[in-house]
């Protein structure tokens, strides 16, 4: 019991330290970037007195420690500033764009799990066979091929050449703004509204970017599953189970895979967090209106409030999933308790 309390105390103490470091790094990145937020607001041809007045209003004339304390005070009130690009509060923009990224990453991790886990198990069960070699080649190719190359190739083949997939975007022009926004997840909202043509259109637009992200994640999930299974299949309890005459399928799925589920949950949680934060290139290629595209557009427009706010949210998501993975590991593995 004392050990568990010490572990919880250590985790609780690490969270504010991690968040403070994240805020500090995000703030410093925003200050060292060669972009002037004042010029982004007033324009390049604004008079010098206007530039200086706006700089004072934003507090950029103060020292870095003073600016950082002011930034912390704004964050404590949930204020991420106002976006120059959209004229909205950054929190409002993030609330509008984040559901699209969440929908894309969720579908991608489901596809990657359904494909990657069975591939890894099958490869480990038939170590050295043609199937094992094929899975290893797929894993190497998946790690070697950049996601933007895979995305462009997918658009070229399925959209431009074969005409099997719709164009970039989240929905077709005909269905724009036809579905009532309830959850922000277009497929869920279309299903709740009973608009089946809009749902089919949304799924068709979702297939390519989700498939690209899933293909990128399958390699890692399959490789880790294979490694975990190989370690379990070489254990003494597996040898004992075989000596008792248990079927290979029962040994693999009932015993070995059950023990790999604990570290595998951690892998899946961190992969999901990586998809949520790393979909920038995919969203840009497929014109997917998510947080990644919002972050890219804000950076190109020198919209530093939006850039810092989106970066901070992405970091918070990753920290949250790290904590979730740690909690699940402790919950599922009795040895850690």
Structural domains for the chain = 2-76 (no CATH), 90-336 (1.10.3720.10)
| CB within 8 Å of 176: residues ≥ 6 apart | none
Q: What is the mean pLDDT of residues 237-264?
A: 85
Record the pTM: 0.86
Instruction: Calculate the CA dihedral of residues 49, 51, 53, 57 and round it to 10 degrees.
Output: 180
Nearest Cα to Cα of residue 326 among 276, 273, 269: 269
pLDDT category at 63 given cuts 50, 70, 90 is confident
∠ Cα 148 269 112 (to 5°):
50
Q: What is the pLDDT of residue 238?
A: 85
- Which tokens go with 43? 């324009």
Q: Is the pLDDT of residue 1 over 60?
A: no
Asked if residue 216 has pLDDT above 60, the reply is yes
Q: Does residue 53 sit in helix, strand or coil?
A: helix
- Once rounded to an integer, what is the mean pLDDT over residues 226-238? 89
Where residue 333 falls among pLDDT bands split at 50, 70, 90? low
């Amino acid at each position: 019991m004392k050990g568990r309390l010490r572990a919880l105390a250590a985790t609780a103490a690490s969270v504010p330290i991690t968040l403070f470091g994240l805020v500090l790094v995000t703030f410093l990145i925003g200050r060292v970037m060669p972009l002037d937020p004042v010029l982004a607001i007033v324009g390049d041809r604004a008079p010098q007195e206007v530039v200086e007045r706006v700089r004072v209003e934003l507090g950029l004339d103060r020292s870095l420690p003073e600016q950082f304390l002011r930034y912390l005070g704004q964050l404590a009130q949930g204020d991420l500033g106002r976006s120059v690009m959209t004229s909205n509060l950054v929190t409002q923009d993030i609330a509008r764009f984040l559901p699209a990224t969440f929908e894309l990453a969720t579908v991608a991790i489901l596809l990657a799990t359904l494909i990657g886990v069975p591939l890894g198990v099958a490869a480990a069960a038939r170590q050295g066979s043609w199937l094992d070699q094929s899975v290893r080649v797929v894993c190497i190719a998946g790690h070697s091929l950049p996601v933007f190359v895979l995305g462009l190739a997918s658009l070229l083949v399925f959209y431009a050449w074969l005409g099997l997939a719709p164009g970039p975007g989240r929905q077709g022009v005909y269905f724009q703004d036809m579905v009532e926004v309830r959850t922000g997840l277009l497929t869920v909202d279309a299903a709740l509204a009973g608009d089946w043509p809009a749902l089919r259109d949304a799924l068709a637009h979702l297939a390519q970017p989700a498939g690209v992200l899933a293909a990128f994640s399958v390699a890692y999930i399959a490789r880790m599953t294979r490694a975990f299974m190989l370690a379990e299949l070489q254990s003494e309890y597996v040898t004992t189970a075989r000596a008792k005459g248990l079927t290979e399928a029962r040994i693999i799925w009932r015993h070995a895979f059950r023990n790999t589920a604990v570290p595998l949950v951690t892998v899946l949680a961190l992969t999901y967090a990586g998809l949520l934060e790393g979909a920038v290139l995919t969203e840009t290629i497929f014109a997917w209106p998510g947080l990644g595209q919002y972050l890219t557009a804000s950076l190109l427009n020198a919209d530093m409030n939006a850039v810092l706010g989106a970066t901070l949210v992405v970091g918070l998501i990753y920290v949250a999933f790290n904590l979730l993975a740690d909690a699940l590991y402790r919950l599922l593995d009795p040895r850690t308790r």
